[in-house]
Chains A and B, each alone.
Chain A
Amino acid sequence: QLTSSSFLRIGQLSNVDLNEDIRELETELPRQHPNEIPHNEKLLSLKYESLDYDNSENQLFLEEERRINHTAFRTVEIKRWVICAMIGILTGLVACFIDIVVENLAGLKYRVVKGNIDKFTEKGGLSFSLLLWATLNASVVMVGSVIVAFIEPVAAGSGIPQIKCYLNGVKIPHVVRLKTLVIKVCGVILSVVGGLAVGKEGPMIHSGAVIAAGISQGRSTSLKRDFKIFEYFRRDTEKRDFVSAGAAAGVSAAFGAPVGGVLFSLEEGASFWNQFLTWRIFFASMISTFTLNSVLSVYHGNAWDLSSPGLINFGRFDNEKVGYTIQEIPIFIFMGVVGGILGALFNALNYWLTMFRIRYIHRPCLQVVEAMLVAAVTATVGFVMIYCSRDCQPIQGSSVAYPLQLFCADGEYNSMATAFFNTPEKSVVNLFHDPPGSYNPMTLGMFTLMYFFLACWTYGLTVSAGVFIPSLLIGAAWGRLFGISLSYLTKGSIWADPGKYALMGAAAQLGGIVRMTLSLTVIMMEATGNVTYGFPIMLVLMTAKIVGDYFVEGLYDMHIQLQSVPFLHWEAPVTSHSLTAREVMSTPVTCLRRIERVGTVVDILSDTSSNHNGFPVVESNPDATQVAGLRGLILRSQLIVLLKHKIFVERANLSLVQRRLKLKDFRDAYPRFPPIQSIHVSQDERECMIDLSEFMNPSPYTVPQEASLPRVFKLFRALGLRHLVVVDNRNEVVGMVTRKDLARYRLGKEGLEELSLAQT
């Protein structure tokens, strides 16, 4: 009954279904070559799997629970706290390491370049300085990009989208490995030293998460070392809790914002939390910022002073000049609007660029070349801006780390150089705190413009780097410009302190780009150390989010979508109540019988076309008349362990002394279960039978066919499920709902859209 016009209107979204329709009409037509399309945002990748948050309550589990007595559970609780403390300490130490190395290497680079520029300013030949600067940047970034592109591509970017996905329940390959941590830390050091428009704060969150995942498992598969501790925590549910603590510790080390860190974890992974977990996360955050603080204060020579709580320190905002009055609130809200618009522009440009990168620049060597080019251009733009600027300011004390004189009179320095010839963190703090009159409006305007495009171009390169600091820097620059023009308009009123407006601009810009709400407000508030700023910062972030969401979504969500990750949002799309489980589910389902032939199991597992992970277990030997009701659910990983240990019915009868399989055997294999190809099953063994009843989860969650999509979605999201079996009224399996079946419905611009599955 569908007219052709409606086909057109549905367009490419449902071309899968259309094709299938056609296939049904022309039955038995051999399937033509696979359908190839260019990458776009409306895809779901098969590469990503779900995490198993649902506990398999099989008999082994019950046995173990019976064996462990009450005190043992108390030890488990203490171990959790110990792990959280260790997460905090190690995250703080990693942050210190990054900070100290970046400070020294960047200092070395800027001293070399400054010496060179000073030398050539007198004699002529500044083009050599430019070449030196560009080459230094490009070569440092090359190293940073090579290790990311060739060794661990998942370490690229800030890592926040990846952690967000992980906490959402998506298993991103390699995301919490030790190798990733090493590459991430080295990569971020190299890209900051290489002078890219990036910060080292975002990657801290990823680093904290990796540390947490590593410690809580008590072993490293990368190093092939098992410390035989914390074995109880070797499953996805426990690991996720620790990862959220690690992410919080990372935020807290990056910004000196322990409460902000906790709220970040809640905001990103909030569907799974409870009071005790929150308290532990808070503990880890506090420990992390305290560790960073004490180590850095020892490093800076004033031990026990504890004055540097985070990697970025906004400095103190507590003198009377930076107070605000109620009349200024509308001005702040206006700045929020500007931030929202600029953030949306940033995201739109970056979207376009990322799409181009995914389609055309996918070879690692091209990615490295691109990163090098960006580094060279960043240096060039900085140099040209400094070269053309005639804005000279007297050197005052040591507030400028690397004053460049260039064409200024002796005893003065180039004001553009304070912004460009410095690490971005320092530039942000300078913009907040330099006294009024340190920058002229022309300098700030040019700087904002240039840095906006540079930062937008840089985000998404194959280097590990964050977007927090560049956003803050752009915002601080235009905010300061705004403050200066305001005080010009009001004939130099005392309340128009440019530093205050720089802070609000920074908040607006960051909010406009990343669209975080609660956690970002608290992070900014804690970083400034001034609680009274909470209200205006909240208003600014709110406005920026509202305005920005009107145009495009936030940067992280955008990148998640572009990576084709099956991400489940808070709620099902609002207009989807008419869809039922019957339409959503995949069918037919590959089921196993309770007592199954080994050969069948091996064949099913090694079938490459169907990479299923969970198999409903049905009653064995159903007659044609009898109903094959659902009995349980078994996972691929469990089957593999069973096959590996050869738990066959015949063998059990054969040797009475055979050791019974324990839950520990499953945990030891976690999280990297061997592939089915590595397990050898002889021809004789294929004829054996395997009894699954002891190992399957006897009570999987099920829904009837008539359940609506939002209902299924809610169950899935709240419980963190991986498989949801759809049964009919005779308890027969009719279908299976997985994450990808739910994630493919999305509320697009013109209503409900359906994404296609794709091999990537």
Chain B
Amino acid sequence: MAPLRCLLPLLPALAFALGPAAGEARRPLALEALGEAEELAEELWDAGLPGHLPELEPECRRLLAAFAEGSAALTGCMGHRARPVRLCQACHYHYRRLLAQYGNIARAVGNSSESHNCAKSILTSDRLQIVVTLSQFFNETWEAANCANCLKNNSEGLSNSTVEFLDLFNKSLTCFEQNVQGQTIYLSPNNYTEVCKNCNETYRMLNDLYNNLQRLNRQGGESGYSAHLCIDVEDAMNITRKLWSRTFNCSVPCSDTVPVIAVSSFILFLPIVFYLSSFLHSKQKKRILILPKRIQSNASLVNIQEKYS
């Protein structure tokens, strides 16, 4: 513990060097201070590890630091955009950069001599393999959020349909806001008729667009399994729908119970008529008994009879 305690002032730098878990707290420092951090880290290594053990090439150290920085940035972004979900819109830049940085590490094989290749020393030389784990975590989250779905093919920026959807979404939110303004939020749910009337058109458009996107996605998707849209779009739609049908109680379908009951009881009544009429009018099917040719001793009768008594 002693050496650690004397290193205390250097902690921020340490945090940067060692990864995102600690780095997250200090993140605001970061972006422009990249160069400085690297230098600090190098100093740290020089101070902490005596005798210049050939633990990590400077080149590799630089790559590692860049990765650490990138993952910290991405984690921060994701954390901040967790609710309401704006993951794909806000963080795709960070994600792409992180991918590139990881790629650099993994590809940095031929650069230096064989004994010092970065991929080997960073990715596979210990049990924990923290860099690999981190990168896997980000990839899986990204996949689960299905962000690729609302980004352009080269993942630079949002796709046109997503932009269109988000515009419409903002428009309907604005509409909701304008129409709810002036009314207190504590009014009984029935009094939102204003909103329902005024924003109906926007909401319908939004809903239709969403359904359309979903249909296109299902058709284009490979074998129908990845039918999810990206999480941003899904979440936006969920929020709007919840507002619309739960809070404002706008979607009140006509329930025409009387005709339904009439029609169904008519249909349910038909079989009774059918069975009754066939019972009464249809001639019952009779079977004609055939007399078997048998020896008519009474023995068989007695035999059977014995079993009864």
> What is the interface of chain A, defined by CB distance below 8 A to chain B?
1-2, 6, 9-10, 14, 16-17, 19-21, 24, 34-39, 43, 46, 121-127, 130-131, 134, 300-302, 356, 358-363, 366, 369-370, 373-374, 376-377, 380-381, 383-384, 387, 397-398, 406-407, 409-411, 575, 578-579, 582-583, 585-588, 735, 741, 750-752, 754, 756-760
Contacts and interface: CB of A to CB of B under 8 A. Distances in A.
B294 interface: yes
B189 to A, nearest CB: 13
Contact of B270 (A126, A373, A750, A759): A373
B301 A17 contact: yes
B295 A583 contact: yes
B9 interface: no
A586 B251 CA distance: 79
Contacts of B255: 126, 407
Interface stretch (B55-63, B67-75, B128-136, B237-245): B237-245
Contact of B256 (A126, A301, A358): A126
Contact of A6 (B246, B289, B308): B308
A741 B242 CA distance: 74
A751 B262 CA distance: 52
Contacts of B260: 126-127, 130, 383-384, 387
Contacts of B299: 583
B290 A757 contact: yes
Contacts of B284: 38, 359-360
A362 B300 contact: no
Interface in B228-276: 228, 237-238, 241-242, 244-246, 251, 253-256, 259-260, 262-264, 267-268, 270-271, 274-275
Contact of B293 (A122, A356, A373, A586): A586
B267 A302 contact: no
Contact of A131 (B223, B263, B282, B306): B263
Contacts of A383: 260, 264
30 contacts: A1-B298, A1-B302, A2-B298, A2-B302, A9-B305, A9-B308, A10-B308, A34-B289, A36-B286, A37-B289, A126-B256, A127-B256, A127-B259, A127-B260, A127-B263, A301-B223, A356-B275, A362-B285, A366-B278, A377-B268, A377-B270, A398-B224, A409-B245, A410-B241, A579-B300, A583-B297, A585-B295, A752-B307, A758-B290, A759-B288
Nearest to A740: B292
A759 B290 contact: yes
A377 B267 contact: yes
A578 B302 CA distance: 11
Given A6-B308, A17-B300, A409-B246, A376 B267 contact: yes
A1 B297 CA distance: 12
A587 B288 contact: no
Contacts of A583: 294-295, 297, 299-300, 303
Interface of B: 207, 218, 222-225, 227-228, 237-238, 241-242, 244-246, 251, 253-256, 259-260, 262-264, 267-268, 270-271, 274-275, 278-279, 282, 284-309
B264 A359 contact: no
Nearest to A407: B253
Contacts of A758: 287-290
A14 B307 CA distance: 14
B214 to A, nearest CB: 9
B291 A20 contact: yes
Nearest to A753: B304
A549 to B, nearest CB: 22
Contacts of B301: 2, 10, 14, 17
A110 B105 CA distance: 53
A752 B286 CA distance: 25
A7 B251 CA distance: 75
A359 B285 contact: yes
Given A409-B246, A586-B292, A360 B278 contact: yes
Contact of A751 (B289, B298, B308): B308
A397 B214 CA distance: 10
Nearest to B263: A127
A575 B270 contact: no
A411 B288 contact: no
A16 B304 CA distance: 14
B289 A373 contact: no
Contacts of B298: 1-2
A751 B305 CA distance: 10
Given A356-B279, A383-B264, 17 more contacts: A2-B301, A9-B308, A19-B291, A21-B296, A34-B288, A38-B285, A39-B287, A359-B285, A360-B285, A361-B282, A387-B260, A410-B207, A578-B306, A583-B303, A741-B292, A757-B289, A758-B290
Given A16-B291, A410-B251, A358 B285 contact: yes
A39 B218 contact: no
Interface centre among B246, B256, B304, B306 (most CB of A within 10 A): B304
A2 B271 contact: no
A130 B223 contact: no
A383 B268 CA distance: 12
Contacts of A410: 207, 241, 244-245, 251
Contacts of B227: 397-398
B162 to A, nearest CB: 19
Nearest to B245: A409
A16 to B, nearest CB: 6
A231 to B, nearest CB: 37
B287 A760 contact: yes
Interface centre among B222, B223, B293 (most CB of A within 10 A): B293
B243 to A, nearest CB: 10
Contacts of B278: 360-361, 366
Nearest to A362: B285
A711 to B, nearest CB: 16
Given A366-B278, A380-B264, A587 B295 contact: yes
Contacts of A757: 289-290, 292
A123 B254 contact: yes
B149 to A, nearest CB: 13
A409 B251 contact: yes
A113 to B, nearest CB: 15
Given A374-B271, A380-B264, A757-B292, A2 B287 contact: no
A409 B296 CA distance: 79
A35 B237 CA distance: 76
A497 B43 CA distance: 56
B236 to A, nearest CB: 12
Contacts of B303: 578-579, 583
B296 A735 contact: no
B253 A406 contact: yes
A746 B228 CA distance: 62
B248 to A, nearest CB: 11
Nearest to A580: B299
B154 to A, nearest CB: 26
Nearest to B234: A411
Contacts of A302: 223
Contacts of A377: 267-268, 270-271
A35 B287 CA distance: 8
Given A36-B289, A37-B289, A575 B307 contact: yes
